[in-house]
Structure formats: C-alpha cells, structure tokens
Amino acid sequence: MKKLLSLGVVFLAAAGLVFGQAEDILKLKEKIIELQNKGELGFRNFTICSNIMGFGSYVPVAAPTFKSGDQIQFYYEPVNVFTGRREGLYEIWYTQDMIVVDAKGKVLMEKVDAMDLHYTSKSPVLDLYVTGSLDLTSVPPGKYQYKAVLKDKLRNKQIIKAVEFTVK
C-alpha cells in the first residue's frame, strides 16, 4: 500500500510539472505573437528551388536559368504575419499575388490572391512557409522577374519581393 501511495505521489508531482511546463510554453508563444504582431511584415529565405521537402527543407537552384517548358518552384517563410486572438482561438490570414514581368517591365501574368492562406486554431501557429510554382511552357527566351505580393489581411499591410530568372 505504501508503494502504491508513493507511486501516486510521484505521478501527481510529474503531472504538475508537465502542466506547469505547458503553461510556461504557452506564455512564451504568447510573447512571440506579441513580438511578431509588432514587427514588420516580410519574407525570409525567399528561394528559387529544384526541390521542396517541407519547412526549412529545400534545395536551391545553382542559377535561376531555365528552359521553356520547365517549372520553377518558389519557397519562402512569411515573417511577422499578424495573429489575431479571439474567444480562445488564434487566427492568421494572408494572401499572395503572383506577377511576372519581362525585362522591359511589361506585366505578362498577374494572379491576384493566387494563394489564400487562412488558419484558425486553438493553439498558436508560429512557423509559416509558402511554396509556389510557375509553369514556363509558353514563355519565350528572355529575362524575367517574378514578384510575390504578400498581403496580411488582418493587419491590412503588404510587401513585395522580386526575384529574377532567365529562360533560354
């Protein structure tokens, strides 16, 4: 009986530590959200890739030169997207426009809100990443620029990132 009582005390102590740890982790996440909500919207690790496996796991191309018919893959991590909090839920909502211009600045393609990423969850979402692709099937040889327009819908802010690529 003493052994059973001792095991019960140990179990309750361990449960208290785990619960306390979970509370500490949630407090840290709330602090991260506060910092992100005050920070400037931006892009991190905007990369043209040959392969994307997941968050922070991608293979950059050696040079952004492609053949007509290829497909370009893009990877980036949105930075400081606003997290709204209401009724015990966390909400993140951002979209991305895709724009392709030629060397003279002429818009060849524009897709407004090509990506619409809207998350509502009971726990904070802190690590975000976006992948996209561009089909070069009907693109003639030349120099081009791909523009991603990241729009934070809850904060009503946007930022543009442009990368150059060549089709041979």
Residue 123 sits in the same domain as residue 98:
yes
Residue 23 sits in the same domain as residue 90:
no
Residue 104 sits in the same domain as residue 56:
yes
The first and second tokens of residue 44, run together, are 């991190």
* Model pLDDT for residues 100-129, shown as the tens digit of each residue: 999 999 999 999 999 999 999 999 999 999
> How many domains, the chain?
2
Tell me how crowded residue 50 is: count the other CB atoms within 10 A of its CB: 11
Query: What is the residue range of 24's domain?
Result: 1-38
* Model pLDDT for residues 122-166, shown as the tens digit of each residue: 999 999 999 999 999 988 999 999 999 999 999 999 999 999 999
Residue 86 sits in the same domain as residue 120:
yes
Q: CA-CA distance, 159 to 53, in Å (whole number)?
A: 25
Residues sharing a CB contact under 8 Å with residue 76, sequence separation 6 or more, in sequence order: 43, 44, 45, 46, 47, 129, 130, 148, 161
Residue 51 sits in the same domain as residue 133:
yes
DSSP assignment, residue 138? T
| CATH number, position 145 | 2.60.40.3880
Residue 89 sits in the same domain as residue 66:
yes
CB 72 within 8 A of CB 48: yes
